[in-house]
Amino acid sequence: MDLEKRPQPGGASRRGQGEQKPYAEAEIRASDADRDRIAEILRDALAEGRLTPEEHSERIDAAYAAKTVGELEPIVRDLPARRSAPAAEPAAAPLPVAESSTPGHNVVAVFGGATRKGRWRVGPRTNAFACFGGIEIDLTEAVFEQRETVINVVAVFGGVEVKVPENVTLRGSGAGIFGGFEVKTHESEDPDAPVVVLTGAAIFGGVDAKPRRGKRVARLQR
């Protein structure tokens, strides 16, 4: 008997156990930078007329709800990649600050109230959570450092009120579950005006967003 040629039990399976398939890129968790990149492509597509405001709002919601890189790419699959503006045309940029150094804001009210108002720098994303409480977010004197600002609101047995200047574009799409989610949409006549997008949900609560008449934001020059 030739015992040396007899295969070792489980030898093939042990060799297979040492081999690991590469992790698919599409399954990698998406970062805030990945979501912001998709938002920039959607913003350009809206400005060029490739998307309607409703389509833009739906895709923005999907982008910021995406968990993986694979969920982000289909959102802009039918859109051209974002192109940088030529260096010879600096005046084409709507705002002088290309990238905001201001972090996102979190406003929380639980069995109480919270207010964000006055002269403050608005980050690219603000999260507001009201539970048995009320929140007021007033942007009428705020400084906008980027073209688009997303405000994600969750109101549970509470209320959130958002005010924007009358010359700022206001868009929104949210859900009212035994509650109300009301956004008085408004398109600014200035194509370079900041854009505020409201998303989220009101559960046994209320969300109200509208322009404030008589309040206007001036374009920053520095």
Dump pLDDT digits (tens) for 34-46.
888 888 888 888 8
Over the stretch 32-82, which tens digit does the pLDDT of each residue have? Answer: 888 888 888 888 888 788 888 778 878 888 888 888 988 988 999 898 875
Q: Give the per-residue pLDDT at 160.
A: 95
Q: What is the DSSP letter of 36?
A: H
Q: Does the pLDDT of residue 209 top 60, yes or no?
A: yes
Q: Which of 99-108, 166-175, 206-215 has the lowest mean pLDDT?
A: 99-108
Give phi and psi for 132, each to the nearest 5. Answer: 55, 40
Q: Does the pLDDT of residue 3 top 70, yes or no?
A: no
- The alpha carbon dihedral of 121, 37, 195, 136 has a sign of negative
Q: Does the pLDDT of residue 85 top 70, yes or no?
A: no
Residue appearing with tokens 């809206």: 46
Q: Alpha-carbon distance 71 to 178, whole Å?
A: 30
Residue appearing with tokens 């600096």: 90
Q: Alpha-carbon distance 216 to 17, whole Å?
A: 65
Q: Does the pLDDT of residue 4 top 70, yes or no?
A: no
Q: Give the per-residue pLDDT at 218.
A: 62
Higher pLDDT, 116 or 216: 116
Residue appearing with tokens 């007021």: 136
Cβ atoms within 10 Å, residue 100 = 19
Q: Does the pLDDT of residue 124 top 80, yes or no?
A: yes
Q: Alpha-carbon distance 125 to 12, whole Å?
A: 52
Q: Work out the pLDDT band at 186, boundaries 50, 70, 90.
A: confident
Please provide the average confidence, as pLDDT, over all residues in the chain: 78
Strand 148-156 relative to strand 143-144, pairing:
unpaired
Closest-CA residue to 207 (of 136, 140, 144):
136
Q: Give the per-residue pLDDT at 134.
A: 95
Across 43-179, the runs of DSSP E, i.e. the strands, are: 105-110, 113-116, 121-122, 125-131, 134-138, 143-144, 148-156, 159-165, 169-177
With a threshold of 0.85, does the pTM exceed it?
no
Average of pLDDT values for 124-133? 93
